[in-house]
């Protein structure tokens, strides 16, 4: 031999592979859900998301034909109750099952989608306005639930 040592490769142990998988799972989890954060960081992130949503809403108001990977803030019910709230789902059910099958219902839907971005932008400015509108919309949501139940029966 020429005096250099050759390094012997050792076999990879199962425990080493398991640690790699755990690290990969942790990285995937943190990528999906984020790292743990303190209350201040969470508030800052929420505020940034609110400001981004307000900016996006303004952009869609100025240019309704704007293309974006984010959903357009059309539905003021989503602004009031939240995207996945039961009330919002009930109103969507009313739209799909009660209004959409009829020509007059489709006209109501088109009118709603024309005015909704303006109302959603107005509601986004103040939690008080959203709270008042939530109270005002409660009977509408109740009636929508009743109509959908009647149609489904």
Express each pLDDT in 63-121 by its tens digit: 766 666 555 555 788 888 887 788 988 998 999 899 999 999 999 988 888 888 788 87
The answer to whether 115 and 61 have CB atoms below 8 angstroms apart is no
pLDDT of residue 83: 76
The answer to whether 140 and 77 have CB atoms below 8 angstroms apart is no
In whole angstroms, what is the distance from residue 95 CA to residue 151 CA? Answer: 12
Express each pLDDT in 29-53 by its tens digit: 777 776 666 788 778 877 887 777 7
């Amino acid at each position: 031999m020429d005096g250099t040592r050759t390094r012997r490769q050792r076999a990879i142990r199962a425990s080493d592979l398991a640690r790699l998988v755990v690290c990969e799972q942790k990285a995937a989890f943190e990528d999906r859900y984020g790292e743990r954060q303190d209350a201040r960081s969470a508030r800052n992130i929420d505020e940034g998301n609110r400001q981004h949503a307000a900016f996006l809403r303004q952009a869609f108001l100025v240019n309704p034909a704007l293309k974006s990977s984010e959903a357009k803030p059309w539905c003021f019910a989503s602004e009031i109750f939240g995207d996945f709230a039961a009330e919002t789902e009930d109103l969507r059910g009313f739209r799909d099952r009660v209004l959409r099958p009829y020509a007059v219902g489709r006209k109501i839907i088109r009118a709603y989608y024309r005015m909704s971005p303006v109302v959603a932008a107005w509601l986004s400015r103040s939690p008080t306005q959203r709270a008042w509108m939530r109270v005002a919309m409660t009977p509408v949501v109740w009636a929508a639930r009743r109509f959908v139940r009647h149609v489904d029966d």
